[in-house]
A and B are shown apart, each in its own frame.
Chain A
Amino acid sequence: MLDRRLFLKLGGAGLAAALASSRVAFASAPTDKRFIFVFLRGGLDGLHALVPYADADYRRLRPSLALGRDAVLDLDGYFGLHDALGPLMPLWRAGELAFVPAATTRYRNRSHFDGQNLLENGTARPRGARDGWLNRAILGLNGGDDRLALSLGPAVPLILQGAAPVQAWSNEQLPDLNDDFLERLAIVYRDDPLFHAALTGATGMTEPDMSDDAPTNDNFLISSRAAADILRAPQGPRIGVLELGGWDTHNGQPYRLRRLFERLSQGLLALREGLGPVWSETVVMVASEFGRTAAENGNRGTDHGTGGLAMLAGGAVRGGQVAGDWPGLSPRALFEERDVLAVNAYEAIFKALLIGHMGLDPAYAERVVFPESRALEPFTGLLRA
């Protein structure tokens, strides 16, 4: 189905010789746990995914957008799941899917770009660091020598940028380069750190086998399948980052989110299927830079808000629960009289997953990965014992 080059596959050994300082094996992965971060850029309207359908305030705030009892799949009598996320119900019933509503980072100012920056750099400020928290976490897990992380797509997002080398895969169709050319190029790149690092990061990677999959044009689904196949390998990377955009629904929200929810569901199911036996060792976290206004706007849409949603899926998740606090949607509960109050912190969830699931040193997590976030204690109760 996919006609794509093999990244030097075994020929990487020759290149490794040219790149005197680099190591391209995965001999010492510090953990067998898998962590996948799915970044929904644009600001997901959490209330349209995990729907407080039984709440009168919700119906008051959204006269035209509100989903009723018959349009959602009930979870606990108060929250229901948007029916386009229905394919995920088997995970919920199996205790492999949890939600944390009213969640976001420490960011409060409603700019996509600053909000994404802050989520990715792990500090309390949009330009508080030039590298990503997940990259710093990798340095803390194993010193960053092994290619522990996998980026899906042609560009490495900020969350994975930093001192630790990262592998990348994307769905493209250009002819392979021969090893001879790359070995010579490696010499030309030797004294240019930026180009050297990028070339090193591109070599020595295993190629996903997706020959049995049904054809699709959906890049998110293709990336999910590739991520699952690469992360499943015993000697492969352990951490993956996927992106799905288009969530900035200032207008026409019902149709646009339905389509996106369908794609998200298919991607998550592909991860479960593709990871196979290691699904039980896996946590997938789905997050967005912020939530949207509690009230709808005049265009069957919603504007930039604050408290959003975190979704957690995987065999290592203590699922079947809507976790964390929920402030409600009464006028007094809203943040600045417009947004869902963010009572649950993404940083607290990230820390819990890095420490409890990936085995990162808690002191390092506080000091390096999420500086100045001590007040946000790691979230409890999200992982299976």
Chain B
Amino acid sequence: MRSLDTFTALNRFGLGAGPGDDARVGDDPRGWLLDQIRPGQALPPGLRRFRSAAEIRAEIARAGRESNEARTRTVRRAMNRDFRQEVMARLRYEIRTPEVLPERMVRFWANHFTASLSRGSRDGVTIPAYEREAIRPHVFGRFRDMLHAAARNPTLLTYLDNVSSVGPDSPAGQNRQRNRPTATTLNENFARELLELHTLGVDGGYTQDDIIEAAKIFTGWGHGGYRRGGDEPIHGNFQFVRRQHQPGPKTVLGRVYEEAGEEEGLRLLDDLARHPSTARHIATKLVRHFVADIPPPDAVARIEQVFRDTEGDLAEVTRALVLLDAAWADPLAKVKTPHEFVVACFRATGSLPENQPDYFQPMRLLAMMPHSAPSPAGWSDRAADWLGPEALMIRLEWARGFAARQPGTLIPAEILDRSIGAAAREVTTTWVERAPSGDAALAMILASPEFQRR
């Protein structure tokens, strides 16, 4: 490995270093990354064969009309054919692709707009498709467009309960109040997380009243996968359900949104995307992810400025991130998450998972099952949350077994140079050389702090 900057490019901004990566990065690591920032990238070939979220959702809804058993069967099949297989296809692409930065950004933004299986909803099987449709196309586009795509996506609307949020004074709300009196028919979960997690941030200057008003604005944002009386056709796409929409003007953050049906939500999203708190919140998260667990204020300020100046042009924001001096100052500042670690192990050895358990087992043991973040806040971006004693031991045990399964033809010294070369400390090199066997040496490389950091 030619330089410490090569290590940083491949780990801080990449997915770990594999065969041939050093030559690809060449003598201009920053330039190599900047070249990967191309808006409107095509879908990776391995992901083109998967169905749309709407198709999956509609199939489940139609099966539900037949019987509960049919629906259960359909969900189970989708879990395997759509969910698990796309997770594996996505993983194989991450392991093999030289275009690593876009993949890192897809992971980052999908985590920012987390939808998770942890709620146990049937609709969770659409999450890989949601990532492919709502997140991936926009990682080098405009934040505003990604926000619209995510917030209008039935997967997220379902995960955050918006599909069942009904305006109290809407026809559906009035009807429901008559049948089963309740204090409110509103569900504020989506609105709250939209403000707290996706845009303004928890200190972004909004109140409980703003949340309730925003929730009213979004009443009716749902999808066509429900049977709603009449003969409305079943489809799995976004649908504005007017009879659930709370009528009348709403006020969020001091601005009045006159009654305009579906339009109200679009306007609010635009205002949220432009809000200074959003720029600050996004910049803080990006810098925490790409620089340090405790984001340096200067770096945050720089990214925040670019975000505001370019009105959330994520290609420009990503360029600014790559060009941050702070991002190259301490190549070992961050710890890889379990997913990043497992991907890096496969890349380092040039191998691929042979079957689903090769990936799902370590993810389960390390408490990072695909698309199963414990809350809408997504996976943690802090080392302390990923490197407790037990978590470390499981990483080590898994890595030891992984190393033992690799072919004996691998040469540890080559893998050491390829994966952590320029960052390797003398103590690590020494103890890799002294290892009693080839697979013990490989295990020592994978277990080293240099390999587990990025």
Point out the residues of chain B lying under 8 angstroms from A62, CB to CB.
183
When chains A and B are docked, how far (Å) is the Cα of A42 from the Cα of B119? 11
B367's contact among A126, A155, A173, by CB below 8 Å, is which?
A: A155
Cβ-defined contact, B444 with A298, below 8 A: no
Would you give the 0/1 interface string for B359-377, flagging 1 where the beta carbon is closer than 8 Å to chain A?
0000001110000001111
Q: Report B191 CB to chain A, min CB distance, Å.
A: 10
**Residues from chain A with Cβ under 8 Å of B440 in the complex:** 181
Instruction: Verify if B23 is at the interface (C-beta below 8 Å from A).
Output: no
How many Å lie between the Cα of A293 and that of B452 in the bound state? 43
Which B residues between 169 and 211 are near A, CB-CB below 8 angstroms?
A: 173, 176, 180-189, 192, 196, 202, 208
Nearest-neighbour CB distance to chain B for A300, whole angstroms, equals 9
Is A110 a contact of B367 with CB atoms below 8 Å?
no
Q: Are B176 and A201 in contact (CB under 8 A)?
A: no
A184 with B375, Cβ < 8 A, contacts A169-B390, A177-B397 known: no
Min CB gap A26→B, angstroms: 16
Among B389, B427, B448, find the residue whose CB has the most chain A CB atoms closer than 10 A. B389
Instruction: Verify A195–B452 contact, CB threshold 8 A.
Output: yes
Q: Are A298 and B184 in contact (CB under 8 A)?
A: yes
Report if A111 contacts B (CB, 8 A): yes
8 Å CB contact of B389 from A167, A175, A297, A301: A167
| B79 at the A interface (CB under 8 A) | no
Do A113 and B182 touch across chains, with their CB atoms under 8 A apart? no
A295 touches B183 (CB 8 A): yes
* Chain A residue contacts of B182, Cβ below 8 A: 63-64, 295-298
- Secondary structure type dominating chain B contacts: helix
B428 sits at the interface (CB 8 A):
yes
Contacts known (A114-B202, A187-B431); A172 close to B365, Cβ less than 8 A = yes
In chain B, positions 330-388 with a C-beta closer than 8 Å to chain A are 335, 365-367, 374-377, 383-388
Instruction: Report yes or no: B192 in contact with A188, Cβ–Cβ below 8 A.
Output: no
- Is B443 in contact with chain A by the CB < 8 A criterion? yes
Q: A166 at interface (Cβ–Cβ under 8 A)?
A: yes
Give the distance to chain B from A253, nearest Cβ to Cβ, in Å. Answer: 12
Min CB gap B194→A, angstroms? 13
Are B166 and A177 closer than 8 Å at their CB atoms? Answer: no
What residue of chain B has the Cβ atom nearest to residue A200's Cβ? Answer: B389
B228 CB to nearest chain A CB (Å) = 15
In the complex, what distance in Å separates the CA atom of A354 from the CA atom of B203? 32
> A170 near B377 (CB under 8 angstroms)?
no
A162 → chain B closest CB, angstroms: 9
Binary A-proximity of B387-411 (CB < 8 A = 1, otherwise 0): 1111111101110110000000000
**Chain A residue contacts of B278, Cβ below 8 A:** none
Residues of A within 8 A of B390 (CB): 151, 153-156, 168-170, 202
How far is A206 from B55 in the complex, measured between Cα atoms in Å? 52
B335 A154 Cβ-Cβ under 8 A: no
Minimum CB distance partner of A41 in chain B: B374
Asked whether, in the complex, the Cβ of B181 is within 8 Å of the Cβ of A154, the reply is no
> A364 to chain B: which residues have CB within 8 Å?
none
Choose one: A63, A185, A198, A303; the contact of B180 (CB below 8 Å): A63
Q: Complex formed: what's the CA distance from A284 to B143 in Å?
A: 46
Instruction: Check A298 against B389 for contact (C-beta < 8 Å).
Output: no
Do A112 and B388 touch (CB < 8 A)? Answer: no
Which chain B residues border A299 with CB–CB below 8 Å?
Answer: 161, 164-165, 187
Any B CB within 8 A of the CB of A376: no
Q: Is A5 an interface residue (CB 8 A)?
A: yes
With known contacts A166-B389, A168-B388, A174-B394, A303–B448 Cβ distance under 8 A:
no
Considering the complex, give the chain B residue whose CB is closest to the CB of A190.
Answer: B427
Asked if A184 meets B164 with Cβ closer than 8 Å, knowing A112-B375, A153-B390, the reply is no
Interface string of A198-210 (1 = CB under 8 A from B): 1111100000000
- Is B134 at the interface (CB under 8 A from chain A)? no
| B161 with A185: CB separation less than 8 A | no
25 contacts between A and B (CB under 8 A): A64-B180, A112-B375, A113-B196, A154-B391, A155-B385, A156-B384, A172-B394, A184-B431, A184-B434, A188-B428, A188-B447, A194-B387, A195-B387, A195-B452, A198-B387, A250-B189, A297-B183, A297-B187, A298-B166, A298-B185, A301-B161, A303-B189, A304-B188, A304-B192, A336-B208
A248-B119, A296-B182 given; 17 more Cβ-contact pairs under 8 Å: A5-B397, A154-B365, A154-B367, A156-B388, A172-B394, A175-B400, A177-B396, A180-B436, A184-B444, A185-B444, A187-B427, A197-B389, A198-B388, A202-B390, A298-B186, A303-B187, A304-B192
